[in-house]
Structure 1
Amino acid sequence: MESGTGGKTYNADPLRPPAIAVVMGSDTDLATLRPGLTLLDSTGIPYEVHITSAHRTPQYMLDFGKAAASRGFKVIIAAAGGAAHLPGMIASETSLPVIGVPVKASSMDGLDSLMSIVQMPRGVPVATVGIANSVNAVVLAARIVGTSDEKARKWVEDHLKRMDDENMEKEQRLQKEGWMTYKKLDG
């Protein structure tokens, strides 16, 4: 595929270009992104998913970052493990917000990735979520898109309401059953 060109659009809508780009440094990062991508699919926000490595395909990654705004994206989610240079390098090539997802690699339980992503030089920010927390990356991206997209904002509001309802249901069960017999339904 030529650098900076489009990919498969999920939640395609002829009236809305893809608003979120999700990039990962390797296909092994997909396991970390799956929970977030599943949630992203429920938002209705058009998005694309790409593999582009800061180390293995640097030109493709640079071209992707440079073209992202002109392609209509509003925010980029970038997942990487180990040295985790992808989020920062993408951020250096675009004016769009970049959300970094640190991936647990083979050592240091993801702390190396977290520190690499969060310690960006002044002027090149990367918003960073918790280690392997692709769900928070998607919720943050939806909030960013929701500043100018009514459907995205409505999804965020509904998502917050669902979380509130779920928590209150658990509170009511706890009060009814007591802490000693209370069992979580879904882990």
Structure 2
Amino acid sequence: MPDVLILVGSESDKPRIEPAFDVLSKAGVSYEFHVSSAHRQPEQTAKLVSGARGQGFKVVIAGAGLSAALAGFAASLTDLPVIGVPFATGPLNGLDALLATAQVPSGVPVATVGIDNVKNAALLAIRILKA
């Protein structure tokens, strides 16, 4: 079973998250990747995330741009660690996504890495798995 569930909100985000695949693979960490939007497919996303622990996942990485609700949405549905990756998209070049990912409400923990810093997200997931 994969250890890390990786989610992005749009098919166009896949090239942005792919460097994380390499980092995880080189470390021998298994992962599963899905495109599932908190806005456009909330039911599908909720099903993926709420069932993640039962599927054997131990960490969730969620990457999104613009309003970037995906990481917070995921964290509200699971007790697994969630790592949010804001993507540099739109007129604010990722600042909006960074703020949305980092400023989730109290009680909905999301570890947030820098804008487009998918390698750090993967490295953090590896550290969590080793802890």
Give the TM-score of the pair, scaled to structure 1: 0.69
User: Whose RCO is larger (CA < 8 A, sep 6+)?
Assistant: 2
Structure 1 distance, partners of 2:68, 2:22, is 23
- Structure 1 runs (4+) deviating above 2 angstroms are none
Give the drift of 1:112.
0.3
Superposed, which structure 2 residues align to 1:12-161 within 5 Å? 17-147=1-131
Distance of 1:50 and 1:42 partners within structure 2: 20
Q: Which residue identity lines up with residue 97 of structure 1 in the other structure?
A: P
List gaps (5 residues or longer) in structure 1. Answer: 1-16, 148-187
SS at match of 1:63: helix
Deviation at 1:46, TM superposition (A): 1.3
Given that 1:32 and 1:133 are in contact with CA atoms closer than 8 Å, whether structure 2 keeps it comes out as no
CA RMSD of aligned residues (A): 0.8
User: C-alpha distance in 1, partners of 2:102/2:28?
Assistant: 29
Q: State the aligned residue count.
A: 131
Matched residues, percent identical? 45
Q: TM-score, normalised by structure 2?
A: 0.97
Structure 2 unaligned regions, length at least 5: none
How far apart are 1:50 and its partner, in Å? 0.5
Larger Rg: 1
The whole-number CA distance in structure 2 between the counterparts of 1:129 and 1:28 is: 20
Instruction: Please state which structure has a larger fraction of its residues in helix.
Output: 1
Whether contact under 8 Å (1:99, 1:129) holds in the other structure is yes
C-alpha distance in 2, partners of 1:110/1:95? 27
Amino acid corresponding to residue 82 of structure 2 in structure 1: V
